[in-house]
Each structure stands twice: as structure tokens, then as C-alpha cells.
Amino acid sequence: MILRIVRAETRGPHRLWPAFNDGTCGVTDVLPLLDGPVFEPLRDPAYFAQFALDADCATVVWPNGADFAPEALRAAVESDAAFA
């Protein structure tokens, strides 16, 4: 099965709640993943909130072309859940 994000919401600055097609969902803080020039605008909470769900890529994207692989977000969700 190809992992896809089927729904997502922001849950505060730099926090996403993605829901995956395998039933996994949860909140994760993506601030530690915002490394590099393409992610710099996402450090601004107002810009971060401008995400969209791209059906073709099956992940969250931002107007500047930044995105996260669904696998990376799922790993972040699982990691954050383990430490909750």
C-alpha cells in the first residue's frame, strides 16, 4: 500500500494533525523538520497555516513548493505519540 495523507489540520504553530490511508493519525510538531531554505517560510506561523492537501502527491504542501513525504510525517506522528 502506498501511504497517503487523506486529511490534515493545523493544531497550532508548526503542529499538524495528519490522517493517513492506513488509519494512523495524530498530532506532530514539525518544527524540527523545518531545515533548509525551502522550509524557512514555514517558520512563520501564518505562512505555515497556508498548507493545502495535494491529492496528486498525497501529502501536505505550501505555496512555495515545500512539502513532506507522507512517510516522514507518519514517523513523526509515531515518534511524538511514543513520547506523549
Domain positions in the chain:
5-71
Name residue 29's amino acid: D
Reply yes or no on whether the pLDDT at 83 is more than 90.
no
What is the spatial distance between Cα 45 and Cα 57, in angstroms, rounded to a whole number? 23
- Res 71: pLDDT: 96
Q: Say if CB 9 and CB 17 are below 8 A apart.
A: yes
If one compares 53 and 81, the residue with the highest pLDDT of the two is: 53
Reply yes or no on whether the pLDDT at 16 is more than 60.
yes
For the whole model, what pTM was predicted? 0.89
| Assigned architecture for domain 5-71 | 2-Layer Sandwich (3.30)
- Res 74: pLDDT: 95
SS3 letters for the chain? CCCCEEEEEECCCCEEEEEECCCCECCEECHHHCCCHHHHHHHCHHHHCCCEEECCCCEEECCCCCECCHHHHHHHHHHHHHCC
Reply yes or no on whether the pLDDT at 34 is more than 70.
yes
Reply yes or no on whether the pLDDT at 82 is more than 70.
no
Residue 62 banded pLDDT, cuts 50, 70, 90: very high
